[in-house]
Structure 1
């Protein structure tokens, strides 16, 4: 009604709480009391609404907190809020906004959460006239997940069997064992339909996956937890995202067990079944062994995973990727490094090279050393804008979420200078026509997704070109094709000399120790 329209833009006037007891039973999801008047005070704000049963709508227009006009309008039943000129009257606030693409990514992320929480409501998001994503009402949450996360990621999910215990209910989807992300953006939790951040929930999810993921990787999860509203405090933060649970231990144990059972069942289903006959069958006289049951290989996940696509018979002969990406001129002449006086002794488990020095024994991690060498080589190529690239005979396609597609578009020029050739190929789909020479086709999609995740978390640090190059090279060193491990004394000595000639031979780009020295004094003490 017109009266309610005027009331909703007044400060402290839209609370739905009548008594203090209502704080323990919050079921609503609307704006908090300050949201509409706050946004109206720093923008050009328009509200059009028409209640059910009314013959005409009502419109309010506010600029910088002051009502400019109020009038009747024609519209369908419902409410539309339009905000333009955000912070036009508060330039001090406007300067803290990030780039347009970064702010757009935040909006996409927010809309994505609302869309996942409310699959039966239609959502449409446009940017500068361009449709970012549109999802009609969905009867099944799977349809909405497909719209938001795309087909590729949806195929990597397991559906949880609905679980219920001690007043708690849980359903949702989690990543298959081994599927992961480099950030937590695909680990989303809802409590009573509200998107939340909960330390207890996040801890339970990570613990369930602790034996399935490598260090630094995050699980994929979309969980819907139902519980008594009085057991969750949503008023920890004005944004209502961070919540506290009254029985964290109970919730954590419930979620951990539910996810653990689902993951274990998934592993059992993919475990190959025994094809040996029982002893009693083999001992039957004058009878042939029963024929094995036919199997539909298209429905057998373990077999299907082993079917490899046919490769072309002839391939162009190319140099190994590592050699192309490592110009030798980056390294100083090893003979000029006066501190190199190591005598190669051998290797331990192939990865670790053992050297004798004047003070003791040196243990060098060959893989970590290669990462440091590759990192500095790539940095020089990027700074000189001489990155080598390899066109793909058969272009790869990459499907991303709408938010990731926005970030990829913003950083497409940087990726181009780094050896990529990526073009839009449909709704949130891109075509990869060329890759840097150091990156294999098999790792291309995973690397680009990891880079987007990194950009989303460190957008502000990538504004300077050098920082952007450092970040890109640091990530690339994890995905670059690995060079063969040294097999001879000459190769081991060459690797050590090249490492010592770099600017920082002590660690990998990620901070992992490249080598360590065991002083003879310490060795003698241990053996005395």
Structure 2
């Protein structure tokens, strides 16, 4: 096999693969170019998840006809000249790869005009070659339209996700820019519908409200700290009373550039050590500023990662700044969650929120002894040992005596399995499973949360939630699943959305939603149960299709055999 030089188009498409991974990559590169051009208004319009078209309009400096043509040549840039310039990069772009890479895998059309010039210049590129160009009237700034992305790279196109998923990634990209550049007015339009828009008034608090929702933004703690003269940590962090099930709301910037930095993420989470429940994560939007000479942004093709000259110093500064802000500003959480009273009046559930059998009525009138309760039940769906409740350990595990040993049941996982199967059963039989609130509650969602909820609840998969638009990012919550009982409706809804966002082990949308509702309706670990409540959980678990695991695959019970005990005590 002889060695050959690749054709120019093939080489361009291969090189483009490192820069243009998906439609969100295109949006990122074009918006960054607009910001480098000092734009104050940036509009992003996409169709079909960006596969059909992407259009980015800005009011930046624009380009002359000569610069417009030159910008489509690989390695053409106005950002640096010498190798030494790499030590002082203050712009997003500097490699001169973005526009030619995008043009190599799409139909590319650009119209640009500098300020105080009578007319602009338009260029159309197909398969990396200019097909037409000429003068055209247009306002100052640049408009770039991308059509048929990856039409000539089918291997890349087939690995993309659904239009909704790709649109969600673009929404996240634009949201990050809003948080980093509150002085710029952004607008995102998806399939002709305005999805997100910022005021561009320079207020970080207003930008935070647009992305995270006003109800969350007002509870975030401001942070503004300086260290070592040219270093700073600024932004917002959550109080310990506000936390999530995943890390997607830890949003970090370095010199206003979004960064996927494991180092910084760990520094933030370490600041909350001992303040959050296990498995929960804080929210944070932080911008770390430092001299560009102590930062290397040229370590990743997509510029997602950065390298610090002094990692320990940066880590310590972020951790110390966040921890101090928590200790100084963190408010005492309310004793009764907001909206709890209205929901408490609306709820008629008893015991653990299981309507079939009231725990309060589960007394000696129902059966003569505990042993009677655990006789094998007719129609049981699988093997389930006869168990006699002995007590509760660590307010988390039900301890019971059974055949050949002691059984430990995870009360949350077991109850979760019971609720999960009940919710699915009620749905299959079209049974009413919602609890109407006496007063509807207003909930604000960020664009990603709206997309997640819309996807999960499509095809009528509401499972008791009744939500309707209330203007902008606000929605009215009118009902919740009946099994919620004591859970604050707003907290429950948001936790269900968080669960949907991170769930990967359950396939169907119905199962994901049912598992989320069950997880946040089940009794919690750490809750003291009465004997009758423990008996009821075991009795109901016995009737489930799969009593061995919760919906997420965690075991509901474990057995310590008599043989193992005898071995431990030297009897064998």
- State the TM-score bracket (shorter-chain normalisation): 0.7 to 0.9
Per-residue deviation at 1:400?
0.8
1:36 and 2:99 matched: yes
Match of 1:409 among 446, 454, 476: 454
* 1:387 shift after superposition: 5.7
Residue 484 of structure 2 aligns to a residue whose secondary structure is coil
Instruction: Indicate if the aligned counterparts of 1:366 and 1:485 stay in contact, CA closer than 8 A.
Output: no
Q: Could you say which residue in structure 1 is the equivalent of 2:195?
A: 132
CA–CA separation in structure 2 for the residues paired with 1:111 and 1:137: 13
Aligned ranges 1:180-329 → 2 under 5 Å? 180-267=243-330, 270=332, 322-324=353-355
Is 132-141 or 105-114 further displaced after alignment? 132-141
CA distance in 2, matches of 1:416, 1:444: 18
Q: For 1:320 and 1:339, locate their aligned partners in 2 and report how far apart those are by CA, in whole Å.
A: 24
With over 3 angstroms needed to count, the CA separation of the structure-2 counterparts of 1:77 and 1:312, relative to structure 1, is closer
Shift of 1:412: 3.4
Q: Distance in 1 between matches of 2:405 and 2:179?
A: 60
CA drift of 1:364 comes to 2.6
Give the distance between the partners of 1:451 and 1:196, measured in 2 at CA.
Answer: 27
Cα deviation for residue 141 of structure 1 reads 1.7
Number of residue-to-residue matches in the alignment: 488
Closer/same/farther in 2, CA of residues 253 and 341 from structure 1, 3 Å limit:
same
Q: Structure 1 residues 218 and 325 mapped into 2: Cα distance closer, same or farther (>3 Å)?
A: farther
Q: 1:477 maps to which residue?
A: 518
Aligned equivalent of 2:492:
447
3-state DSSP of counterpart to 1:322: coil
Q: Distance in 1 between matches of 2:349 and 2:415?
A: 21
> What do the CA deviations read for 1:237-266 (whole angstroms, capped 9, x no partner)?
111112222222211111111111111112
Work out which of the residue numbers 397, 402, 408 in structure 1 matches 2:442.
Answer: 397
* Structure 2 counterpart of 1:283: none
1:104 aligns with 2:152: no
Name the stretch that deviates more: 171-180 or 89-98.
89-98
Q: Where does structure 1 lack aligned partners over 5 or more consecutive residues?
A: 271-300
Task: Spell out, residue by residue over 1:353-402, the C-alpha distance to the aligned partner (whole angstroms, 9 max, x if none).
Answer: 33333433223333332122222222333455546223333222221112
Change in Cα spacing, 1:336 to 1:225, as seen in structure 2 (3 Å) is closer
Q: What pairs up with 1:60-99 in 2 under 5 angstroms?
A: 60-99=123-162
**5+ unaligned residues in a row in structure 2: which ranges?**
1-63, 359-375
Q: Matched residue of 2:168: which SS?
A: helix
Secondary structure in 1 matching 2:96: coil
Indicate yes or no: 2:200 matched with 1:155.
no
Farther-moved stretch of structure 1 (255-264 vs 494-503):
494-503
Q: Is the 8 A contact 1:181 1:219 kept in 2?
A: yes
Specify whether residues 10 and 451 from structure 1 end up closer, same or farther in structure 2 by C-alpha distance, changes over 3 A only.
farther
- Conserved? CA contact 1:347–1:353, under 8 Å: yes
**Closer, same or farther: CA 473–30 of 1 in aligned 2, 3 Å:** same
Task: State the match for 1:499 in structure 2.
Answer: 541
Structure-2 separation of matches of 1:340 and 1:135: 59
1:421 aligns with 2:466: yes
Q: CA deviation at 1:315?
A: 6.0
| Rounded Cα–Cα distance in structure 2 between residues aligned with 1:134 and 1:93 | 30
Instruction: Note the aligned Cα RMSD (angstroms).
Output: 3.4
Deviation for aligned residue 1:519: 2.8
Deviation at 1:208, TM superposition (A): 0.6
CA 312–27 in structure 1, closer or farther in 2 if over 3 Å, else same:
closer
Q: TM-score, normalised by structure 2?
A: 0.76
Cα distance in 2 for residues equivalent to 1:525 and 1:386: 51
**Residues 1:437 and 2:482 are matched in the alignment:** yes
Query: Is the counterpart of residue 364 in structure 1 residue 409 in structure 2?
Result: yes
Partners of 2:393 and 2:199 in 1: CA distance? 59
